[in-house]
A and B are shown apart, each in its own frame.
Chain A
């Protein structure tokens, strides 16, 4: 269907959204179109930055962006926009907003939406859609993004009436951020976006009600279990950081003296150098953490979901323990492991209320601390090549408390989780649930925009960086001082490691000897870059990378056969971990 005369008049040619948009005149009030209502609603909610990529069906929205207060960050791929919005959201605690056109623009968002769903990140995704008369006719760039995204959003709307747009945006914001956060999607047909709207309806904020009596009872039951326990352990998940409950957790842990372990996403809720923090649990967890889980008699799960990467074989996970499970999402309680006490409530509320008093757990604490000391990481790798764990440890310590790592997926991701120092929650941004390679660079862009003064470092590999390497152009465009540490082992290292260990060294499509020259690639985008491959270069590498005033990439060559240890083999319990020496 051809555009209406009204649409033609309204839309006009595409205009650059940044940095010229601030100088353009706003649309007059009488021209309040659906698109304008959308932009105004976002502004009214306090959103100041959005990430996106324009195209045909979303053109009315991009037109309405001209002259708006919103800062639009033009990414180079819609997946990059979703990941950047994700990074922004994790760091700010506010919803990230990403915008794409219909069809391929919308489908390119899908991985980012799924990532946000798995990791409980508040995201508002806005997609253009073909005009309503063309819906269901297989028209150009039409795809049923509402249907495609159903399993990976908290909720979604196909807007058919421009008057409801402000209400939907407010509802979307509320839903994305309330309870367990997550992504929502607003699919906006082009004609709805382009038409003027009258009498916009308001959104009535739902009353979430008071804390129910059974929550109080659940917390009392949990307190009683803690008093009985001789070997209690905190199992800290990503929900602690999402709930803003890290300060309450720290007070609770220090007051009770209960040791803790964390999931990949829970790292930093307790500082990783806290004496009673035993490290990450699970497949690549520390021996101290996994043994403590195996030996504890009470496991206090906080904002964790008993993910298989954390539990190993579920039947042998914490076999001697009673379970207290506290989570905002009632559907997580008992989903995989039954809870002796399950409490569906806000973690900050719970942790501030829980007070078991003095606990007689000295023997237990001494035991786990001895194990932690006995199996502490070693950094005395042979040879003169760069040992990635030692580099990551030194880099994170040099970066200080304001260090934020955005990781890709693979060996470097696990090394970062094991060896980096994290002083704050939401300082370790990674695609935990979905495991999406290509997350690190765009998420780093979002994080750096959100926290310009933080030392944000994207930790990536030679496999992962290639999945969204086009975002180097975004980095240059906005001249963001994001630092990229690229650990290059000329392979898809984690897959290679599994082929070595579990597929009798039959290496299949994992070697990458034909990688490009990453230094030259970065320079082609206008980004400072350098290479290092000797251990004695590490101190200078760290200083140069962290000290750079603009974007900078360090291409670090590591040994191609380095593996991540320890490792819990698939189908085994966490206490049956393989270690390098025992292999």
Chain B
């Protein structure tokens, strides 16, 4: 089952490779990626799929959220929709 992540991150050197590396190291495949630049920020939509059933998108979301320079993270399939990114506060579990 795939999950779509909606991300807003700083447009800093290495920020993309940092993010993509984290997702793959944590056991997710990236099936689709859409990137748009917006000034000093980047909007990114990623469709990801866990390599096995034990991989939780919600945990992945929190691991992404602790990346420095990550402004907003949301994913479908959790209680937070894309317009409610981390509504409970940075770094808090859904």
Smallest CB separation, B24 vs chain A (Å): 10
Q: Is A156 an interface residue (CB 8 A)?
A: yes
A463 contacts the other chain (CB 8 A) = no
| B18, A333: Cβ atoms closer than 8 Å | no
Instruction: Report the Cα distance A331→B89, complex, angstroms.
Output: 13
A334-B22 CB under 8 A given contacts A156-B14, A209-B89, A212-B92: no
Instruction: Tell me which of A150, A179, A334 contacts B21 (CB under 8 A).
Output: A150
Given contacts A150-B18, A150-B21, A151-B25, A344 and B66 within 8 Å (CB-CB): no
Which residues from 463 to 504 on chain A have a C-beta closer than 8 Å to any C-beta of chain B? none
Q: How far is the CB of B37 from chain A (nearest CB, A)?
A: 19
B91 at the interface (CB under 8 A from A): yes
B residues 62-80 with Cβ under 8 Å of A?
A: 62-63, 65-69
Do A330 and B93 touch across chains, with their CB atoms under 8 A apart?
Answer: yes
* Chain B proximity of A560: nearest CB distance (Å): 40
**Which bucket holds chain B's interface residue count?**
20 to 34
Residue A335 lies at the interface, judged by CB distance under 8 Å to chain B: yes
Interface residues on A, range: 20 to 34
A505, B88: Cα distance in complex, Å:
55
Contact with B along A310-331 (1 / 0, CB 8 A): 0000000000000000000111
Docked complex Cα distance between A554 and B60 (Å)? 48
Given A151-B25, A179-B66, A344-B93: 19 more A-B contacts, CB < 8 Å: A150-B14, A150-B18, A151-B21, A155-B68, A155-B69, A209-B90, A214-B92, A329-B66, A330-B62, A331-B62, A331-B91, A333-B93, A334-B56, A334-B58, A334-B59, A335-B56, A335-B59, A342-B93, A344-B92
Instruction: Identify the B interface with A (CB < 8 A).
Output: 13-14, 17-18, 21-22, 25, 56, 58-59, 62-63, 65-69, 88-93
**26 sample A-B contacts, Cβ–Cβ < 8 Å, listed by A number:** A147-B14, A150-B17, A150-B18, A154-B68, A155-B67, A155-B69, A158-B13, A158-B14, A160-B13, A175-B68, A179-B66, A209-B89, A329-B66, A330-B62, A330-B65, A330-B91, A330-B92, A331-B63, A331-B66, A331-B91, A334-B56, A334-B58, A334-B59, A335-B56, A335-B59, A342-B93
Contact surface of A with B, Cβ cutoff 8 Å: 146-147, 150-151, 154-156, 158, 160, 175, 179-180, 209, 212, 214, 329-331, 333-335, 342, 344
